[in-house]
Amino acid sequence: MPMDQKFTIICGHYGCGKTNLSINLALDHAAQGKRVTLVDLDLVNPYFRSSDYKEPLEKNGIEVIAPVFAGTNLDLPAISPALYALFAKEGEIILDVGGDDAGATVLGGFSRQIQELPYEMLYVVNRYRVLSTTPEEAAQLLREIEAVSRLKATGVVNNSHLKEQTTADDILRSVSFAEEVAGRLGLPLLCTTVPKRLEQEVMLRKLYPVSVYVRPPWEETIS
């Protein structure tokens, strides 16, 4: 999946898979020799944060900027001072944004600087996630995110899955949903993700194979 812009913002509904997508993008581009910074802007949801995977990401040469209290037993909405230096950085910068309009609020604080730069804002959809199971619901969620963040999405990523129970048919059945969401929003459907274990079973042109790194704390975590 190409990522030509300096800033790539990953947004979407809670539990749609934003963080796992962000980690895959960061690792893939680092493997191509690019300088990558992954920014954890999720100050709302304590269960799925890219900063929880800081050690393996840094082993692959990726700089991780996390909330001030990430990795502790505190869960406070504190912005790292390192965020204010982002706009002088070179290389690819991936912003993993918190879910829905509440999670995107912090992004709005940086909207003026981001608007002055080339950026992509990818809206991640999951047909099987509660509150975004219809194209109408999914489209409305993005409009709320855009209003709060004061930024416009540039494309849709279909990341429909049912965790470990995901089958090839589940993914194929989700494509028409994602296409309708993209059509309602007037945005391109950039790709459909697929767990690498199912890559050979899903025959789609715009396919992005992903590894599953992110799991809830009550399940085993892949390092």
Using one digit for the tens of pLDDT, what is the confidence trace for 61-74? 999 998 654 444 43
pLDDT at 83: 74
For residues 53 and 213, the answer to whether their CB atoms sit within 8 Å is: yes
- What span, in angstroms and rounded, lies between the C-alpha atoms of 34 and 27? 10
73 Cβ contact list (under 8 Å, min separation 6): none
Q: For residue 152, which amino acid is it?
A: K
Residue-wise pLDDT for 23-49, tens only, equals 999 999 999 999 999 999 876 655 566
pLDDT class for 126, splitting at 50, 70, 90? Answer: very high
Angle, alpha carbons 123-128-162 (nearest 5°) = 105
Residue 78 has pLDDT above 70, yes or no: no
For residues 126 and 10, the answer to whether their CB atoms sit within 8 Å is: no
179 to each of 17, 153, 158, 173, how far by Cα in Å?
18, 15, 9, 11
pTM: 0.88
Residue for token pair 């909207």: 111
| Neighbour-count burial for 78-99, b at 16+ CB within 10 Å, e otherwise | eebeebeebeebeebbbbbbbb
**DSSP-derived secondary structure letter, 222:** P
